[in-house]
Each structure stands twice: as structure tokens, then as C-alpha cells.
Amino acid sequence: MNQPKRAWIPILLLALSAVFLWRVTIAGQAFVPAGMLKYIAPWSTASEARPVWNPLMYDSVGQFYPWRKFAGDSIKSGMLPLWNPYQFAGTPFVANSQSAVFYPGNILFYLLPTATAAGWTVLLHLTLASWFMSLFLGRLGLGRPAQLFGGIAFAFSTWQVSWLHLPTFLCTSCWIPLCLLFVYDLTRKPCFKTVAKLGLTIGMMLLGGHLQIAFYGLLAVLVWAAWRLVPSRANSDAVLNRGSSLGLIVAALVLGSLLSAPQVIPSLELSRQSHRVSPPTPEGFAAYSGYAVGVQSLSTMFFPDLFGNPSSPDHPYFGQSRGGSLFNYAEGAFYTGIITILLAAFGLSELRRNRLFGGFAIFAILALLMALGTSLDALLYFYVPGFGQSGSPGRSLVLWALSMSALSALGVETLLTKGSPALKPIFLSVVGVLATVVLLALVTASALQPEFKSMIDWNFQIMRFAPIALLGVGALFGIRSGKINTRFAPAVLLLIAIIDLFSVGINYNRTADNSEIYPEVEAIKSLKSHAGHDRIMPVNPKGFSFAGPNVVLPPNGAMVFELHDLQGYDSLFPGQFKAYMNTLAAPVATDASPPEVGNMVFAKNSGSPLALQAGVRTVVSLQPTGLPGEENLNGVYLADLPGALGRAYLEGSSRYSVVWKNDTPTRIDIGLQSDVEGNLILADEFYPGWTATVDGKPVKLERANTLFRAVRVTPGDHEVQFRFVPASFLVGLYLALVSFCLIVSIAFNHLLNRKSNAVQTV
């Protein structure tokens, strides 16, 4: 059987990724769903019904594009973006782990325009995900066709594809196979070189930006290490001194954790005071598990669009969670391909002969148990600190995609290399898969609420399933019986997998022309001229919903234009700000967040006196506010608040003047001339790490109006400076340097030993 050279594997996988992202690599579009902005004011004030709305895909343009642009602009200007002044009245930025400022894979955002980097970063990490998976499978002894198949199945599964617009998912998950590879190496031949490799890879996974996915990756590392170190016939190649291997794996975990400390420690600091902080309770777990994957969604293992597709206007998604709430396609993405499932079933039948792959069966079981909100989630929720603040249980399906890819690769290897015909296992696997399809169809029919049952077009689903299933079954029997030439067998299997997965996912993610990404329309220009250094307050009493937004300038959008917004949208932000905004919303509303998206905070009451305290100068709304001097710009209403104090003001006095000398994220310099003694209030959020000086002398930074910063000043002319240098970041930086030096010293020592051995050989 002719096999491609190893060097061609990453090149082939890169080419496949480029074809999958044809809109970016060929059509030259930006991997940003900016078309969604045309349904949001001020880019559109149209009142017609919104299209099918995908709130997770919106996060790409509503969160990640502003974050990546802010980080890129900051670093290009020579400044670390430790603080974000443009949302939540100021908030930690690096402590938002999804900012991923220190992740090396994000260097493209520091070199290229944000819109360009967005697509090329996805291309890079899709290639890495498939390549690392293929390397791992090769280390487990599989041939190159099986390696390629497993790499393709992992990278282009619906779990990966449906999360591509949220780049931290892929930037984190792509490192999991490489972590497992190095764990495998440490259980065979323990050495410090592999410790350094594993530590570096774990550090990359933690820096990738999604701590929940990194948690599942670490869980996989621990389970895989345990599977390898338990004495059994499956681990006949494992070292006898298992304690040594375990100690080195723990050392690598420590190295990786230290390497990620500049990002992870600030995140932990913020998580302890975030809006999500609450002790684990039965009620909290009920809410968490209620958003788990419903049992009916298991049918999407075979019918990926059984409940519609959010990227298809003709078949809108209507899936539901376990608790019956509105759900998202990506949260229950089981599909890894029909041919993949068939081969995985065949691979399972070979576990008696190749018990090493039994670890992947464990991953599959764990993924299902966690995704379905079982008692395993209760153990994690109540006994793993911080787990209750994570996202939905369905994200554990990253391990499902991993396990199905590996088991199907084992099926490919067995199919192509086994000497005897062995048609019986294939027959039993096919029958088992078909029986599972029928069973899950019956479960879906019984579990789905009556109003949704009629929305499923089973004829359409079967017509989509049948051709791919027949091709897969035909390929399995044709190869095993010798009807398909062994020279062409690998290509047949790979082609079926590519056709299957690409037909589902290639058009899922939306792209846009650069001109569609946050155009600076007339209302934005007017806001910039009105606000200056002061804060704006879009008023959005209705907020977001799964049906689509009815807002003006939604949270984070102002970041793109360097406007200081009172709103915000992030998975972690200080709880004190949420409490302040809830008070500001009264009596219009009791909660500043919409019921569907607790991570969003809106301003809902333009008449609240707290807006003046928060440094708001300009209000923007979809409805007339009645404020004096209000202007209407294409259906967007702008007005300055009467008596606006601005972001910096002397409390209780009008006998002062303020001059902004420096207004950057981590450094603010204010010139103050005052005739009276008083508190100079900077209406930016009070947070650990901020310090102040007056005329170069350190002064105590006080808390004002429950949320903001203040310093005491005497009459006269003063230079007031605020600096943000959080201790959590400095400690993390020191620990990362220690870890980096250890890794470099191990690598240097390895090189010296190689040279010494080479000299002795000569």
C-alpha cells in the first residue's frame, strides 16, 4: 500500500483547511459575520423582522472582533492591554481569559489587520488540530491513511466547525491531541525533554483563551495518564517504574500552569469577584444541568440538521436543551460523520486486540455523561472550584469528537491492514449503527415537545443520511472483501469523509467584506465629537433575545471606535458593576441583563442620576428621550445630558477645570486647577492594581459612589496620575519566566547531551 511521506501530511491538511475556508483563502473575505450588524442600529434602523439569529455566531463580531482589534492596536502602540477602558466603565482585559493576549497563536493579530488575521488564525489552527491529531494517532502505531482520517474527522467535526467564530475554542482544543501524545511518550520513555514538551503544550492550551475547554483537556490528560499507568495488557509498552512517569507528568502540568500564569492568575482574581460568583447550590446546579444536551439531540450523531441549522434561513434551528429552554446548535454538536461513526463502531469491535484505544471509549463515555447533565456534572459542579461558573455542559463534546476520531482511525487501520476478511465484525458494526439510528429516532420522536415534532422533515433527513450511509457501508464491505483495490481504498475512505463533513460544515460560518465591519456611519462620528474623553450611554430597554437584537450600538461595539461605553458584554466582569447597573436600570427594569444573555449589561434608564455619576455625557437611543438639543440621525437619537460632569470631576464643586493630558488604557494623566479642597473623581471602575499619585507623590486611592476612583486634592494646580499595574499580573509574569527558563534549560541540556553523544560516537 503506497503511503504519502510524513512531510506531506501537514501540507495536505493545510490544503484541506484552505479549501474549507474558501471564502477567506480564495474569495478574500473576512472571517467575521459582519452582515449581522445590518440589523442593528446605527448601521441599520430598519424595523422589519430579524432573520434567524445565531447568538453564538454574533459573538464573533460582538465580542471577539472588538477584543482582538483592541489588543492588536494596543500592542502595535507598544502597550500591554491590561485594562479595557471602553466597556463596563472600565474592566480588566487580560483577566478576561478569552482576550488571550499572551497566546503566541494570536501574534497574527499584532502583525495584520484584525479582519485579515481572523481568517488566517482559523486556517492555522484548523491545520494544527488535524495535524496534531494525526501525529498522535501515528505515535499510537496507526498508518498514515488512518492518521489522516482521524485528523480530518477531529478538525472538521461539527463541534469544531460550529465554534470556529469563537476562536478561543479551536485555539484551545487543537492542543489536546498533542498533550495526549506527550503523555503517551512519558509513559513509554520518561525523560525531561518530553516533560518540557508537555509543559509547553499544556501552557499553550491554557493560554489559548477558553478555560472550560482547557479544563476538559486537562481532564483528558489525567484520564489518559491513568489509563496508561494502570498495569494491563493494553499497556505492555509502558515503563515498569510508573511512579517516575506519574511524577514527570505532574511536573509538566506544573510547568504548563506556571507558563500560563500571567493570564490565568488575573482570571482567577477576577473570577472571585465576578458577576457569576455564587456558592454551589442545588438550585444553581438545576439551572446548569437544565441547559445540558437533551436526550433527543443524540439523534444528531447521524442527522446533524435534524432540528434545523442556524445558517439556513429555510430551516431555522429549533433545538432545545434538557430543561426545554432555547438551545444553540453548537452546544449539542455531536456529528463527526456517518462514515466516521461506522468506522468507530468497527474500531470498537477491535478493542479486544488493541486495548490501548480503550482510553478513547472512556473519553466518549465521559463526554456523553457530562454533556447530558448527569451526576458526573454534579461532582464537578459542587467539588471543583469555579466549575459552576463555566459554560454549558455540552462543551464537553470536544472529547466526543476526539474519541470518535481516534476510534474511527483504528477502524481504518484494521480495515486496511487486517489479513483475514473478517466481514462479521463489519456486519455487526453496521447492524449496530443502524439499530442505534432507529433507536435514537424513536427516542427523539417521544422526547420532543409536540409543537416541534411536526417541524422535523424525516424524509429530508433520511434522504441526506441514506446516500452517505450507503457509500460508507459499501466502502467497508468493498475494501474488506477485496472488491476495492487496496491502492485506492485509503482515498475512497478519505473522500467519503471529506464529502460528508464538508457538505455539512463548509457553509456554516459566515464571512463579510471588510467594508461591512463596523463602518463609521454618521451617528458614530457625531458620538465621537460629542463625547470626547467622557462616557456614552446607549439606552436599550428591550435588549437582546434569541429572536434577534432590538438595540442601538450594542455592548463592545463602542470599543472599535474608542468610545467609552457604560454597557458591556463579557463572560467575566466585576459583580460590583452589575449591581450598579441594576440600580441604574430602576424603575424601568430590575435587571440590567436580558434574561437570555446574563453576560450582557445594558443601560435601560436614561433619566437615572447614576448616569451623571458614571461620567456619561451623551445618550444614544432608538426612541426620543426628550432631552434638550436632541438630534435625529437616521432614526438614532443623540443628546447630551444636562449638567453632565464628565469622567473626571471635582465632587460637590464647580470651581475647577480639568485638562486631559494622557488617556490610555493603563495610564491616565489629568491636569487639575481647583480653588477648593475636595475629591477628584475619575468615573472609571475601582479595581485592585490601580494606583494614584498627585504631583508625583503616591496617594491613597479611594472608592467613590460605590464603584469609581477618587483622590483627595488641595486647592491649586495639580498633576494627577492613575496607573494600572496589577500584582496578579506581576506574580504571574514572574512565575511564567521561571517556567520558561526551566523549559529552555531542559532544551539546552538536551542539545548539549546530543552533541556530547555525537562526539563520542565519532
Helix boundaries (H) for 397-488: 397-417, 423-447, 450-453, 458-481
Residue 240 has pLDDT above 90, yes or no: no
Contact 118, 30 (CB under 8 A): yes
* Cell representation of residue 245: 512517569
pLDDT of residue 704: 93
- Closest-CA residue to 59 (of 521, 523, 544): 544
Joined together, the cell numbers standing for residue 305 give: 440538521
Q: What is the model's pLDDT at position 164? A: 96
Q: Which one is predicted more confidently, 180 or 551? A: 180
User: How far is Cα 303 from Cα 299, in angstroms, rounded to an integer?
Assistant: 6
Number of DSSP helices (H) and strands (E) in the chain, helices first? 27, 18
Asked whether the predicted pLDDT for residue 20 surpasses 70, the reply is yes
- Supply 266's cell numbers: 488575573
Cell 499497556 belongs to residue? 235
How far apart are alpha carbons 460 and 479 in whole angstroms? 29
- 7 versus 661: the higher-pLDDT residue is 661
**Which strands form 678-685's sheet, in the order they lie side by side?**
648-650, 678-685, 708-713, 702-704
List the single range of 155-159, 220-224, 395-399, 753-757 with lowest mean pLDDT. 753-757
- Residue 1's pLDDT is 40
Give 313's pLDDT tier (boundaries 50, 70, 90).
Answer: confident
Place of cell 505532574: 250
Q: What is the pLDDT of residues 84-96, one digit of tens each?
A: 999 999 999 999 9
The strand pair at 702-704 and 708-713 is best described as antiparallel
Q: What is the DSSP string of 709-723?
A: EEEEE-SEEEEEEEE
Residue identified by cell 474500531 is: 347
> 557: which 3 cell numbers?
461595539
Displacement of CA 45 from its chain's centroid (Å): 30
Estimate to the nearest angstrom the gap between the alpha carbon of 92 and the chain centroid: 18
pLDDT digits (tens, 9 = 90+) for 392-418: 899 999 999 999 999 999 999 999 986
Report the share of the chain in percent with pLDDT over 70: 95
Residue 361, CA distances (Å) to 103, 241, 347, 366 in order: 31, 26, 10, 9
CATH 2.60.40 domain span(s) along the chain: 649-725
d(C-alpha 402, C-alpha 695), whole Å = 59
**For residue range 701-732, what is the model confidence (pLDDT) as tens digits?**
999 999 999 999 999 999 999 999 999 999 99
pLDDT for 423: 81
Phi, psi of 2 (to 5 degrees): -75, 130
Highest average pLDDT, of 621-635, 643-657, 691-705, 747-761, comes from: 691-705
Pick from 318, 344, 327: nearest CA to 400: 344
State the pLDDT at residue 102: 96
Looking at the DSSP bridge assignments, the partners of residue 678 are 713
pLDDT digits (tens, 9 = 90+) for 595-607: 878 889 999 988 8
- From CA 156, how far away is CA 502, in angstroms rounded? 7
Neighbouring C-beta atoms of residue 434, cutoff 10 Å = 14
CB atoms within 10 A of CB 486: 12
What does the pLDDT look like over 543-565, one tens digit per residue? 777 677 888 998 999 999 999 99
How far is Cα 707 from Cα 725, in angstroms, rounded to an integer? 19
How many other CB atoms sit within 10 Å of the CB of residue 656? 18
User: Under DSSP, is residue 603 helix (H, G, I), strand (E, B) or coil?
Assistant: strand
Q: What is the average pLDDT across 59-82? A: 94
Answer whether 669's CB lies under 8 Å from 681's CB.
no
pLDDT of residue 280: 87
Read off the pLDDT of each residue in 107-131 and give the average, rounded to a whole number: 96
At position 362, the amino acid (one-letter code) is I
Which of the four pLDDT bands, split at 50, 70 and 90, describes residue 3? very low
Highest mean pLDDT: which range of 8-17, 305-314, 442-451, 722-731:
722-731
Average pLDDT over residues 386-395: 87
Q: Is the pLDDT of residue 2 over 50?
A: no
How many CB atoms within 10 Å of residue 355?
Answer: 16
Distance separating the N- and C-terminal Cα atoms of the chain? 38
Topology classification of domain 649-725: Immunoglobulin-like (2.60.40)
Using N-to-C axis directions, what is the helix angle for 211-229 and 192-207, rounded to 10°? 150
In terms of C-beta density within 10 A (0-12 exposed, 13-18 middle, 19 or more buried), how is residue 184 classed? buried
Q: Grid coordinates in use for 224?
A: 489518559
Segment of 272-281, 559-568, 593-602 carrying the highest mean pLDDT: 559-568
- pLDDT reading at 457 higher than 50: yes
Over 50: is that where the pLDDT of 4 sits? no
The amino acid occupying position 54 is N
Q: For 703, what's the count of Cα atoms within 13 Å in the CB-facing half-sphere?
A: 7
Write the pLDDT tens digit of every residue in 667-682: 999 999 998 999 999 9
Sort 374 into a burial class: Cβ within 10 Å, 0-12 / 13-18 / 19+.
middle
pLDDT digit string, tens, across residues 499-525? 999 999 999 999 999 999 999 999 999
Measure the CA–CA gap between 292 and 322, rounded to whole angstroms: 5
pLDDT value of residue 491: 94
Q: pLDDT tens digit string along 426-441?
A: 888 888 888 988 888 8
pLDDT, residue 237, reads 63
Q: What phi, psi does 705 have (nearest 5°)? A: 50, 40
